Amino acid sequence: MKQLLLEPCFIFILLVISVTNTPTCLCVDDASYTNCSNAFSCGNNNFNLKYPFWGENRGNYCGGGPNLESEKLTCEAQVPKITINLIKYRVLGWENTSQILKVARDDYWDNNNICVNGDRNSTFDNSPFQYDYDGLVNVTLFYDCPASFSPSTIPSLPPSTVFSFPCGGGSFVYYTAQALPSSYEAPCKIVVIPIFQTNNDSLENSERIIEALQGGFEIEWTGNYEKCEKCTGSGGECGSVDGNFQCFCKDGPHSASCKERQKVYNNSHCSTNLIRPL
């Protein structure tokens, strides 16, 4: 009897609470937002590697696409690395204002590797990166040259501009920072690696060529970074889902900016209206 009398009253109270309950959101920040708000963590650099990069502590949705695999970073012995078209690079810097990534070939990093890596040029085809040749000089390395080869056999190139790196057993890797004559077909395998013009000094010294290769070169991320700037300007963190740009905000993902009304999907983790009538 007492119970029956109380019940409608209880429901009424619930209704009042529910109606006056303005949607105070007992939210935790969106998980994607939180995840992508952390820069790539590796070693003690301050490169601030965020969008379009992902890997390790950053989920793949923090990447830019369209070729996510080439934006994936790994951390090896405290060194951030990126693998593009099967070649691994050390990341030496990133400027988010110009989207310039500074990299050096990992396979040429250690001192004598220059002797054994005659098989691959760096290519950025089908990746969101491309060379930025501003301030760069191509170094051409000659591998597996026949005994008949010598720098003087390269037409219209002063032999004094072609240097040699001793690889033991009387074998050499030849290299030059000069452009080869376009018609020239070397009897050797050729690998071309850009270096900074500022590193194009005293390359006849074989230690210097290693230093110059370790100095790396610049490539540019060619995706649409303006979208990201718009997103971060509104307090969001950039990422992508299925190749589409996403702006992850504290209240969930938006398509472009945290200021727009329409969210990409329902904010299911946000528990508004905890108390409902029945």
Ligand X SMILES: *[C@@H]1O[C@H](CO)[C@@H](O)[C@H](O)[C@H]1NC(C)=O
List residues near ligand X by CB under 6 A: 35, 38, 48, 50, 57-59, 96, 119-121, 133, 136-138, 161, 177, 189-192, 197, 200, 228-229, 232, 266
Q: Which is nearer to ligand X, 20 or 156 (CB)?
A: 156
What is the smallest separation between the CB atom of 221 and ligand X, expressed in angstroms?
Answer: 12
Q: Which is nearer to ligand X, 78 or 182 (CB)?
A: 182
DSSP for residue 197:
G
Q: Which is nearer to ligand X, 101 or 228 (CB)?
A: 228
Distance CA 259, CA 246 (A): 13
Q: Which is nearer to ligand X, 127 or 232 (CB)?
A: 232
Structure tokens at 72: 């994936």
Distance CA 18, CA 3 (A): 22
What is the smallest separation between the CB atom of 70 and ligand X, expressed in angstroms?
Answer: 18
Nearest of 138, 121, 128, 137 to residue 219 by alpha carbon = 128
What is the smallest separation between the CB atom of 4 and ligand X, expressed in angstroms?
Answer: 34
Q: Which is nearer to ligand X, 150 or 197 (CB)?
A: 197
Q: Yes or no: say if 201 and 75 are a contact pair by the CB < 8 Å rule.
A: no
Distance CA 260, CA 262 (A): 6
What is the smallest separation between the CB atom of 127 and ligand X, expressed in angstroms?
Answer: 16
What is the smallest separation between the CB atom of 40 and ligand X, expressed in angstroms?
Answer: 11
Whether the upstream peptide bond of residue 159 has omega within 30° of 0, thus cis, is no
